[in-house]
Amino acid sequence: MIYLDYSANTPADERVLARFCAVERRCPGNANSHHQAGLDAKAEIDHATQTIARLLRVQPAEIIYTSGASEANNLALKGIAHASRHIGKHIISTQLEHSSVGASLSALQQQGYEIDLLDIGRDGRVDLDQLRELMRDDTILVAVCAVDSELGTIQPIREIAGIVKPYPGCRLHVDATQAVGKTDLWLDGVDAMSFTAHKFYGPNGIGALYKRRGLVIEPQISGGASTTIYRSGTPTLGLAVSLDAALTKALAGQNARNAQVQRLHDRLLAGLQQYSLVRVNSPAHAVPHIVNVSVTGVKGTRFQQALSEQGVCVSVKSACSSDGLPSKAVFAVSRDRRNALSSWRISISHLTTDAEIDGFLQAFDTCYKTLTNKEN
C-alpha cells in the first residue's frame, strides 16, 4: 500500500504513543479529584498545558482541550457568535473552510446571523479588498483557515488580522488544522485558533482551541468539570500529554521535514506535468504537502477508485466532506464545475519515500491510460 492521504490523518509517532501509555499507567486518577492520584494527574495535565502554551507563545489559561479540530471550530464560531449577539450578527468567512466551519455557519444563519463569504482569487487567497469592504460595526467574527485542506493555500493571516483590528467588536478565528508543522503560525491579532493532534503524528481524539485571554465565549457543552469553564468533560490526561509530545516534535523539526517534503513535491509535480490532461489546482505558494490535481474528463471519485485498486490511497476533497459534489475550493479558484468534479488530492509527508513517489507515478500512468485512452 502507498499511503498519500496524510492531510486526512497521520500515523501516531511511536514516541508520542509511548508518552500516552506511560502517563496512563502512572496516573490512574481523575484530574478533578482531590486525592493524591487526582493531584498527580492534575500536575501532569498542567505540565502538558504549560508546554503547549510555551510552544505557541501564549498563556496556559488560553488553552482549551477538545476532542479535535471539528469541536474546536464549533466552540469558537458558535461560542463567539452567541456571546457577541448584543453587538451584532454579521459574520465573514470563506468557501475554503472545513465542513465543521461551514456547518456551524449554516446553523448560525438559521438562528438569524448574516453570513458573507469572501471571494477567492485564482491564487487561492481571499480577496483582502473585499474583506475591507464587508467589515461593519456589527461584524462580530471573521473565520478563515490558515491553510486550506484541499488546495494547501496559505492565507495571509497577518494582513487579515490587520484589517480586523480597527473593529473592536469583531473577533478573528483561525483554523490552523492543516498549518501546524507545515508553516509558521501567526497569533498576533488572532482571538481564537483551532488545531488537532492527528494531523501532526499524534493520536485521534484530542485537539485544542487557543482562546485569547479576556475573550468571552459561550460554552457548547453543559455539565461536568474540566480544565476550563468553557468546555465540560473529564480531562483526558493521556491524550493531552500526547498533544504536548506531538506538538513539540512537529515544531522542533519543522524546517528539516518541510525541506524533505518540498523535494518529494517537486518530483511528484514533475512527473504529473508530463500528462496533457492533468491540471494542477494547488497554487504555487501552497504548502508542498498538498497537491490537488484534476484529470480532464475523469471524475475525481473514479480516479481515486482506480488508484485504490492499484494500492494507492489518495482523497477526493477533505475526508469530512460530502461525496458526489464538486469541490468548493477547486471551483473557487478555477471557476470550472467540471474541473472541480474531476479534482482529487495527494498529500505527502516527510515519511513518504522516493520509492512511494515512483510507485504512485507508475500507478497513475496505468490509471491515466486506462481512463483517458491517451498515452500522455
Residue 180 and residue 242: Cα distance in Å, rounded?
Answer: 15
* CA-based torsion, 267, 154, 116, 171: positive or negative: positive
Q: Provide the mean pLDDT of the chain.
A: 94
Q: For the domain bounded by 14-252, which CATH number is listed?
A: 3.40.640.10
Which of 56-65, 149-158, 230-239, 337-346 is predicted least confidently? 230-239
Same CATH fold assignment for domains 2-9+254-372 and 14-252: no
For residue 221, what is the DSSP state? S
Give the pLDDT band (50/70/90) at residue 334: confident
User: Which residue is associated with the grid cell 485504490?
Assistant: 308
Helix, strand, coil percent content, the chain, rounded in steps of 5 = 40, 15, 40
Q: Region 21-45: what's the mean pLDDT?
A: 94
CA of residue 241 relative to chain centroid, distance: 20
pLDDT at 321 over 80: no
- The residue extents of the domains of the chain are 2-9+254-372, 14-252
Q: Closest Cα partner for 66 from 230, 186, 178, 246?
A: 230
Q: What is the per-residue pLDDT for 376? A: 76
Q: What confidence tens digit (pLDDT) does each residue in 68-120 have? A: 999 999 999 999 999 999 999 999 999 899 999 999 999 999 999 999 999 99
Residue 258 and residue 165: Cα distance in Å, rounded?
Answer: 31
Q: Which amino acid is at 94?
A: T
Provide the residue count of the chain: 376
Residue 181 and residue 293: Cα distance in Å, rounded?
Answer: 23
Q: Do 96 and 147 contact (CB within 8 A), yes or no? A: no
In this structure, what C-alpha cell is assigned to residue 240? 493531552
Which of the following is catalytic: 27, 145, 313, 320?
Answer: 320
* CA-based torsion, 273, 316, 172, 208: positive or negative: negative
Q: Which helix (H) or strand (E) holds 141?
A: strand 139-145
Bigger pLDDT: 323 vs 358: 358
Q: What residues are paired with 312 via a beta bridge?
A: 2
Please give the model's pTM, rounded to 2 decimal places: 0.94
Which of 69-73, 121-125, 160-164, 291-295 is predicted least confidently? 121-125
27 carries an active-site annotation: no
Give the pLDDT band (50/70/90) at residue 322: low
Q: Region 283-295: what's the mean pLDDT?
A: 96
Q: What is the per-residue pLDDT for 318? A: 59
In this structure, what C-alpha cell is assigned to residue 352? 513518504
Q: Which amino acid is at 312?
A: V
Q: What is the per-residue pLDDT for 373? A: 86
pLDDT at 131 over 60: yes
Give the pLDDT band (50/70/90) at residue 320: low
Class level of CATH domain 2-9+254-372: alpha beta
Residue 166 and residue 141: Cα distance in Å, rounded?
Answer: 13
pLDDT at 319 over 60: no
Q: Do 104 and 78 contact (CB within 8 A), yes or no? A: yes
In this structure, what C-alpha cell is assigned to residue 277? 490532461
Q: What is the per-residue pLDDT for 324? A: 64
Which of 47-56, 173-182, 327-336 is predicted least confidently? 327-336
Q: Which amino acid is at 130?
A: Q
